[in-house]
Structure 1
Amino acid sequence: MLGPDGTLTVPKHVRDELEHILTLLQSSPGANHALNHPPQSSAISSPTSPPRPESPQRPTLLSNVRITKKTILSQLYRYLVGTDLEYPETSEGGVGHLFELQPGTTWGNPTSSFAYSLRSPRGYTLAGKEVEIDFLGDGSFVPCRVGHATCQGSKICPMSDLESMSTPHTTASRALLQERLRLDRENRMERTSPSRDIFKKTAAVVSAFRRLGCTGSLDEINLFNTEGQAAVDEMNLHRTEHQRGYSSAVATCDGRLQLECEHYSSENKDHLVFTSIADGSYDMGYLEALFNDDLEEIKSIEGAASTVCNVSVQKTLCRRSYRHIYCSFDHRDSTNILVQHPMIRLECKCVFRTYEPLEEYRDDFPFVLIVSKSVHPHPIPLPSKTPPKIRAELMELLPRFQEDLPDLTPRRFLRHPILKAHLSLKFPDIPNPTLTYIDQMRKKLYPHGTRWKGILGLKDLQIISRPLRDHCIRQMVDIDIEGVESHVEDDPVALSESKRLRFILCMTAESSERLLTAQYVQSDIAFRRVVGFYEFELGAWERDATTSVVFCRIFLNRQTAVAHLKIFQAIEDVLFADTGKRLRWRHIHGLDDGDFENCLLQWMGDQHGGQAKGLGLHLQAIVQKYPHTADLHDPTRKIASLAPYEHLYRTFRLCVAHGFRNIRKCKVPGRVRELMRSLICVEHEDWDATVEAIRILGGKAGTDWVNDKERSQFAFQAMCWAKSSIPKLVWCAGDRTSNLIETSHADVNREGVQCTILGGIMKGEFYDSLQMKTLRSFEQTGIRQSYSAGHPTENAIKNLKRKCECLLTCDTYADAPKVNIYQKGLMAEDLQIWNANSKIQQAHEKIRTVKDRVVNAAASLARTDPAFHPGRHEKQSTDKARGLWKKEVEESQVLVGTGIGSGRVCLVYSTNEID
């Protein structure tokens, strides 16, 4: 709106929101230097630093406190609001811990912050069997629900010192834990040496051999005797237990291993072979003794190595909830066999009883009493839980990430502006904490997951929460491909081994209305953005607004002709549901060959056979409704009689940029490349002769290129207007490249790649909605998305400037201000030619030097010994120099006719070793 002085102003609420955003960005530490100064992770305190306080203030210790009419605690710790306790003190008689909670907040259990694993036996008292507790010590007894849980202890390697590991403790702290870890580290560091590193690496590779085996295919059946079969069965059982009971779905080779699988050969290279052994990083003698079961040699080597690294020194200590079953290190069993022992459990009988007031009393008595009884006969566990307050804050913060949540990872979470703004306000002087609870919130908001079922749930949600016009997920198709017609044009590579065809059509009603008026459309398939699905985009250039628009996104798992046929049919169905109309194709619905109004004139794409054949099949299905309509380009035929590819001749065109790029990659002489490029034209003087010349002069590569175009059955017609049935006006006015849709793919990829299908759909919808809003803004207010006027003249000026920069770069390689990717490639190719020339010149100089030395030596000796002739040494030097020259010439000849380089560096070529 205009202010009193004629200047543009914004509404007050918009200005307030912008000022708030600026405040958040300015207060974010390092916001202006994110690239130069990445955020530091929160460091764990070192052993020399003071222990972290476990509560805002030291707890109050009370003695001989009566908590029930019959129970007196000898010790009771009372904690203030907000205390997170990791290691509660315990004793045989029991120690009480009284926590005060914040009234009016979500009720929490303080045991959730304990470092001890608390599980069964566990439970709560039944209704009607509550216990009355005097929290305040004033005789006000409150009925409480009583729960109990038991410490689960730890898991340790059986080769550990069980006596020291089982030493009981009643008190623990971060300081005591850090002291234990410090001593362990010092013990390990005392044995650090190169010999230890080699021995550890050797033992690790042996363990990997035994655990992994040969992953090659099971193409031969091995026969074992009884003892050998028992060993194989035991090893397979060991591998299955390592995978927590999940056996491999694909049978793999069970051949014997001796640095390589017994089935490995030059004809069978998919079996295991350990080539890294040649780098000297492993103890060869130890490996040989192990594979040969030489127990005497094994004992000798391990005995000599015991001073630096005995295999029994390293053990595993972990929490009870640790998923691994076996110790990670190898140890000798009772039969002197090197194995990974299953870890044993150090059971603990320490019980934690929790007394919580009934809900109706919690506002007046916001306390929770926990009584721990018995000792812990195991080492102090490592802390592995996030404090409840931080966890609750994360759970409150995560829903604000909206479309970013399905694909959120710890790194993306830490870099997200929402988190940075939140932390900058809450902790201006403290480094950002790390994330641990993404999965839990993701499961809460997306209970059906982020795959196919999750999309079904999202589709159902949009049905009940959005008007039909705002629906994005319009169709989800899941069919069995068994029995579905196949075509030679089908892409044999699928993104999954599933025997089903799946695709998801995302399209809004507004997109349907815009597609109905489009005349030149482009399509492309990408594979980077969504894991397990291709992404098909259909878009066009909005010529009035001079901006691109994406009509629909389709996520599919196969690129077959039938798959594309079904998605084109689905687009037509959604279009009809939204507008009551279907697409009008010029060659089908036009009144004559000059009727260009309200018709789709041209479809731009690449040479993918499945997409092209699918489009042809779709058009062939449409014309069956018009059995008596004559073809506009051949009135002697009915349009219903046209084959799929004949429809493509009337509407489909290949991208010129793709064609030139593929020609540039062909390994044919430069003259042949020129012939290939000449076929991408409006008209050609001698088409057949040019094609035949490419076959003859291009060799195998040229023949393959021609055969590929002919085999596609539509490529030549889509490259040259004279070969097609597209009107010349349409050909000249239409798009020459698919850069528009390629750029659209690149833009949406900036929202994130390697996404889940749910995240890909949500981010794609978010990106497309911004595009539509920008377009509507221009249409309703005239406000463009940039300061550019969008006039074609401006685009032409940009193109000319870009070309001038390229020419400047070519003429002045040194200190060139701008170099595009193509020029960088040419410069690299020029450098390749220059290096080849340099090697030939050096070989020439070598020959000259050798010959001059021989001539000078002969002249010198001729004066004293006229009968002198060049000896064997002189002849060997000459032959060696000539051999080097011939080698360099042969290598440079490979570059002849390849067409590489900018043309400013010529290739030195000589047929004579002196010329």
Structure 2
Amino acid sequence: MNHLNQKYFETETNLDAEDDTESEIAVFTRDTKIKDVRYSLVPIEYPETSEEEVAYIYHIENWEDPKAVFRDIQYSLCDDSGSFSNVGCPFFGKDMDDPENKKWIQVKKAIKHCGDIKTYQLAGPNILKALHTKVNFETNPFICEDDYNNTSENRITRILTQTMIQIAICCTLQVVIRNIVGLTQKLELKRLPCSVEFKMLTPLNLQRFSFVILISKGIHTHPPPPLSKTSTCIKSELRKLIENSKEQLINITAQQLVSGHLLKSVFGTEMVAEIHASLNNIDKLRYLIARVHNQQHPHGQGILGVVYDFYQNTKEIKNYIQKISFFNDGHIMILCMTNEQAAKCIEFKYFEVDLSFKRVYGDINEFEFNAYEEKSRTIITFCRIFTNIATKEAYQKMFETFFEIVKKLSNKPAHFRHIHSDSWVCVLADLNQVQALGLGKAMKKMDPTRKAKEHLQYVFKSCHIYYKKNVDHYPYCADTKHDMLEILKANSSEEINQIFGQIKMRNEDGIQNWLEYYQKPWVLGSLTYHYSLMSYEDWQTTPFDTNIAESAHAMINRTGKSLKLKIAILRGWKHDECIYKRIKIHQQIGIPMSSKDKSDFGKKMQANKRSENYPKEQPVKESNALQKRQRLIMMMTTLKWKLKSARSH
């Protein structure tokens, strides 16, 4: 029953009226009979009132929040104690559920009063004696009068400045009056009471009777309040905008929302203040965004929120986060991988690992496992591990967990060729000692017959570019740096030993520590094949740098940097899911992921073109006598070594 029963209107004759016309009076309760009845499909922010009462009938069918009728009123409404009761409403007619058909439709009656306002005692009559029953926006009722030299921008809620008096509202709700002569006086704020009464009639069964009645009576004895309350409809649309686009807006700020184009797509304007005047206060938008975020993430978007969603089996992350571990040493590890990533990882003969420091805000960093797929000519990620510690023991736990999850998701064992005669042959990384030793210890658990460092000689390769950058930053002479780089080009282990001898002969400061580190078999075996136990074919067919890992970092960093942990995980998942879907489409239909030639041959051609534009390398100039002397000593040492070799033959 969504129609109003017009049968229960009473007709009275106005005997005093000159035209002797009849007027209809609506009966809402036993003691409430109103002549002025108005209808509305939307909430009204400034409902008109009068001494004879005005009734508003709101049709709230399909409204998300029926209470918007009252919440959108800009006046401050105060509840009276014991002002709630259930009464019959003749306006809605008889209750069809009543077997005797004698009871009126039951409504909940609530009485509220317009709240008082506070002002200063020296306010002019335009404030102290202001009266109104309706608000006319065409006359801009919120602007102060010119009696006190206020500009048109000054509002009644702002501080008013007079010619001889300065007024400031203190936090103790007192007004300090400071005269230019020097006299200071404190005055209490003055309350302006308002006798306007609002009656609210809400049917107990809103599904059957989708109407709400608001009755206002009296005259407001104060200026109309400004538009400080944002309408429920606008807040609902803003909330939907954030909720429905949570992948993009999960960490949005008020400033980002205002400066973007989403507002125009929903509200038709880019100026948030034009949507509603109350949003000119940016804190209201911040509060709304924070409220939506708190509803979606009650435990935050950090480690606590991720753990809560994981154990609640939240749909967002249940298929991506595979394991969360906390260790006694304070190590936190979150491993993220899908079934598709695990299956793809088993197909490759190598993978690259690297630690990224920029994407997650705080102490947690991202440890990635990547590779380059030749068929689709794209970089793919197998796994993302979020960790707060990067020690040898921490890396060991991460590699062991990675092998465990790959086996679990792919239903295939995680094998290395030198141990199991199949699967992975190489792990490529920067020459990070704790990272490499952690990998070696994890492989030792697979095969205890070999030492951890021996396992590294079989599978570990370090980035040549990373090594060259380190050499470039060493404080050694040009000849020493040249010899260090020649290690990568040496044709035999004997030639490498000769280079080490030449470097040692110079006896530069700190060179002994460098020699001790790089003469370790597993370190040297990661740089040159002559000290590696990897087969020559595997050595030549796997990369010599970690450019793939660095490119993977750059790609994912486009989704944001210094993100909260949960946001970083969700965006990483979306990025990986998109890449794998594009690979699948490429395999099924044959449409490439890019028109550029990303094959090895194409990359080499592009590198050659770039090198043509680079200036030719100039020979190293001997800058001082010390370098000349060291060069002479090296030449004499080489000559002696050749003479000694000739005599032995």
TM-score normalised to the size of structure 1? 0.52
The equivalent residue for 1:857 is none
The equivalent residue for 1:206 is none
Are the counterparts in 2 of residues 103 and 363 from structure 1 also a CA contact under 8 Å? no
The equivalent residue for 1:569 is 400
TM-aligned CA deviation for residue 584 of structure 1: 1.3
The equivalent residue for 1:611 is 435
Aligned residue type for 1:577: K
The equivalent residue for 2:381 is 550
Structure 2: stretches of 5+ with no match in the other structure: 1-22, 94-102, 155-160, 280-284, 628-649
Aligned residue type for 2:89: E
TM-aligned CA deviation for residue 542 of structure 1: 1.5
Aligned residue type for 1:522: E
Q: Matched residues in 1 for 2:403 and 2:274: separation? A: 50
Which deviations, in whole Å up to 9, do the C-alpha atoms of 1:608-640 show, x marking residues without a partner? 44433322221222223xxxxxxxxxxxxx42x
The equivalent residue for 1:367 is 212
Q: How does 1:371-770 map to 2 (within 5 A)?
A: 371=216, 382-413=226-257, 421-423=265-267, 433=275, 437-459=288-310, 471-481=319-329, 500-532=330-362, 533-590=364-421, 598-624=422-448, 638-639=449-450, 642=451, 644-681=452-489, 684=496, 686-692=498-504, 696=508, 699=509, 709=517, 715-770=523-578
Q: Matched residues in 2 for 1:348 and 1:428: separation? A: 40
The equivalent residue for 2:31 is 70
Q: Matched residues in 1 for 2:514 and 2:55: separation? A: 81
Are the counterparts in 2 of residues 575 and 581 from structure 1 also a CA contact under 8 Å? yes
2:107 to 96, 119, 144: 144
TM-aligned CA deviation for residue 391 of structure 1: 2.1
Are the counterparts in 2 of residues 564 and 614 from structure 1 also a CA contact under 8 Å? yes
Aligned residue type for 1:132: C
Q: Matched residues in 2 for 1:406 and 1:676: separation? A: 49
The equivalent residue for 1:628 is none
Q: Matched residues in 1 for 2:115 and 2:332: separation? A: 46
TM-aligned CA deviation for residue 355 of structure 1: 1.6
TM-aligned CA deviation for residue 540 of structure 1: 0.8
Check if 1:115 corresponds to 2:74. yes
Flag the 1:150–1:326 CA change in 2: closer, same or farther, 3 A. Answer: same
Q: Matched residues in 2 for 1:561 and 1:774: separation? A: 36
Q: Matched residues in 1 for 2:576 and 2:258: separation? A: 26
Are the counterparts in 1 of residues 167 and 177 from structure 2 also a CA contact under 8 Å? no
Are the counterparts in 2 of residues 131 and 146 from structure 1 also a CA contact under 8 Å? no
Larger % of strand: which? 2
Aligned residue type for 1:399: E
Flag the 1:430–1:397 CA change in 2: closer, same or farther, 3 A. Answer: closer
TM-aligned CA deviation for residue 63 of structure 1: 12
Aligned residue type for 1:619: M
TM-aligned CA deviation for residue 405 of structure 1: 3.6
The equivalent residue for 1:780 is 588
SS in 2 for 1:558: coil
Q: Matched residues in 2 for 1:360 and 1:646: separation? A: 78
TM-aligned CA deviation for residue 327 of structure 1: 9.0
The equivalent residue for 1:256 is none
Structure 1: stretches of 5+ with no match in the other structure: 1-61, 190-306, 318-324, 482-499, 591-597, 625-637, 812-825, 827-892, 898-915
TM-aligned CA deviation for residue 537 of structure 1: 0.9
Q: Matched residues in 2 for 1:124 and 1:442: separation? A: 36
SS in 2 for 1:407: coil
The equivalent residue for 2:201 is 356
TM-aligned CA deviation for residue 505 of structure 1: 1.2
The equivalent residue for 1:843 is none
Q: Matched residues in 1 for 2:118 and 2:487: separation? A: 73
Aligned residue type for 2:404: D
Flag the 1:80–1:790 CA change in 2: closer, same or farther, 3 A. Answer: same
Aligned residue type for 1:583: A
Flag the 1:71–1:120 CA change in 2: closer, same or farther, 3 A. Answer: closer
Aligned residue type for 1:98: Y
Q: Matched residues in 1 for 2:61 and 2:562: separation? A: 45
Flag the 1:622–1:178 CA change in 2: closer, same or farther, 3 A. Answer: farther
TM-aligned CA deviation for residue 745 of structure 1: 1.6
TM-aligned CA deviation for residue 534 of structure 1: 1.0
Q: Matched residues in 1 for 2:435 and 2:147: separation? A: 63
The equivalent residue for 1:798 is 606
Q: How does 1:114-513 map to 2 (within 5 A)?
A: 114-118=73-77, 125=84, 129-130=86-87, 132=89, 134=91, 143-148=106-111, 161-164=120-123, 167=128, 170-171=131-132, 175-179=140-144, 313=166, 315-316=168-169, 353-360=198-205, 366-371=211-216, 382-413=226-257, 421-423=265-267, 433=275, 437-459=288-310, 471-481=319-329, 500-513=330-343
Are the counterparts in 2 of residues 119 and 149 from structure 1 also a CA contact under 8 Å? yes
Q: Matched residues in 2 for 1:724 and 1:314: separation? A: 83
TM-aligned CA deviation for residue 690 of structure 1: 4.6
Which deviations, in whole Å up to 9, do the C-alpha atoms of 1:40-86 show, x marking residues without a partner? xxxxxxxxxxxxxxxxxxxxxx999865332467x96846323441x
Q: Matched residues in 2 for 1:329 and 1:608: separation? A: 67
TM-aligned CA deviation for residue 386 of structure 1: 2.2
Flag the 1:72–1:523 CA change in 2: closer, same or farther, 3 A. Answer: same
Q: Matched residues in 2 for 1:327 and 1:621: separation? A: 71
Are the counterparts in 1 of residues 29 and 87 from structure 2 also a CA contact under 8 Å? no
SS in 2 for 1:145: strand
TM-aligned CA deviation for residue 363 of structure 1: 5.7
Q: Matched residues in 1 for 2:526 and 2:52: separation? A: 86
TM-aligned CA deviation for residue 796 of structure 1: 1.7
Q: Matched residues in 1 for 2:564 and 2:442: separation? A: 30
Q: Matched residues in 2 for 1:417 and 1:737: separation? A: 41
TM-aligned CA deviation for residue 801 of structure 1: 1.6
SS in 1 for 2:348: coil
Q: Matched residues in 2 for 1:659 and 1:344: separation? A: 74
Q: Matched residues in 1 for 2:305 and 2:29: separation? A: 51
Are the counterparts in 1 of residues 322 and 336 from structure 2 also a CA contact under 8 Å? yes
Q: How does 1:879-890 map to 2 (within 5 A)?
A: none
Q: Matched residues in 2 for 1:710 and 1:328: separation? A: 76
Q: Matched residues in 1 for 2:472 and 2:54: separation? A: 79
The equivalent residue for 2:98 is none
Aligned residue type for 1:730: D
Task: Quote the RMSD (CA, aligned, Å).
Answer: 4.9
Flag the 1:130–1:667 CA change in 2: closer, same or farther, 3 A. Answer: farther
TM-aligned CA deviation for residue 568 of structure 1: 1.7
Q: Matched residues in 2 for 1:758 and 1:746: separation? A: 19
TM-aligned CA deviation for residue 798 of structure 1: 1.4
Q: Matched residues in 2 for 1:645 and 1:419: separation? A: 58
Which deviations, in whole Å up to 9, do the C-alpha atoms of 1:478-515 show, x marking residues without a partner? 3332xxxxxxxxxxxxxxxxxx3322211111111111
TM-score normalised to the size of structure 2? 0.71
Q: Quick one: percent identity of the two aligned structures?
A: 19
Q: Matched residues in 2 for 1:744 and 1:182: separation? A: 67
Flag the 1:460–1:673 CA change in 2: closer, same or farther, 3 A. Answer: same
Flag the 1:124–1:460 CA change in 2: closer, same or farther, 3 A. Answer: farther
Flag the 1:501–1:345 CA change in 2: closer, same or farther, 3 A. Answer: farther
Q: Matched residues in 1 for 2:84 and 2:591: separation? A: 68
